Chains A and B, each alone.
Chain A
């Protein structure tokens, strides 16, 4: 069985500062990795995904993530955050050939003006 750990439940960051949201996964087989964002009272929206190829993945809204197989991590980064980035961010994993997603518990990103 696979699992996802998001160590930080809340991350406060000053506007225009960089941010990193951490995600570690556990799986006995090869995986696909995802980051979703959830704005207040809305559903989840896909930010980016890693299926294969380059380990550095670029997504929407200036976010990127790097897949590190040896450390079983898929951390999300943004060089300069904006007030509009305030949201809950979820890391998720699925196994090869299976579209079932297992989500982490989420990280609430708060941008401080």
Chain B
């Protein structure tokens, strides 16, 4: 079974530029999560999708971050414009269904904002 795929793996941009990350979850997984992991901290949930609907985006900085999950499969997370403090690893995870409580994580995208 293929795991969660993410691209790109690394990205360096200047502040005020925009950037997009892509995630392809495990086939058949209805729930998709985006996390932000700042160096030295644990992952923080940004947004959770159930199929193509948003379940929780309470910690997503909506003035600059946006995410979509078209057709309930792939997802894209965008930052526009980027700030220095957005430098982090962005992790995508997916899970099969409610009640299983096991999330499968992708390798992440390391973003450096200069």
How many whole Å from A40's CB to the nearest CB in chain B?
Answer: 11
Size bracket of the B interface: 20 to 34
Q: A99-B31, A99-B95, A100-B56 are in contact. Are A45 and B105 (CB under 8 A)?
A: yes
B4 contacts A43, C-beta separation under 8 Å = yes
Q: Which residue of A has the minimal Cβ distance to B4?
A: A43
A49 contacts B102, C-beta separation under 8 Å = yes
Q: Once the chains are docked, how many angstroms separate the CA of A46 from the CA of B42?
A: 14
Taking the complex as formed, is A32 at the interface, i.e. its CB lies under 8 A from any CB of chain B?
A: yes
Q: Which residues of B, 66-105, contact A by the 8 Å Cβ criterion?
A: 91, 93, 95, 98, 101-103, 105
Which of chain A's residues have a CB closer than 8 A to the CB of B93? 43-44
Q: Once the chains are docked, how many angstroms separate the CA of A49 from the CA of B4?
A: 20
Which of chain A's residues have a CB closer than 8 A to the CB of B102? 46, 49
Q: Which of B44, B101, B108 contacts A103 (CB 8 A)?
A: B44
Q: A100-B48, A103-B42 are in contact. Are A43 and B107 (CB under 8 A)?
A: yes
Taking the complex as formed, is A87 at the interface, i.e. its CB lies under 8 A from any CB of chain B?
A: no
User: What residues make up the interface of B, taking CB atoms closer than 8 Å to A?
Assistant: 4, 31, 40-45, 48, 56, 91, 93, 95, 98, 101-103, 105-108
List the 7 closest pairs (A to B, CB-CB), nearest first: A103-B42, A43-B105, A44-B105, A43-B107, A43-B106, A103-B43, A105-B42
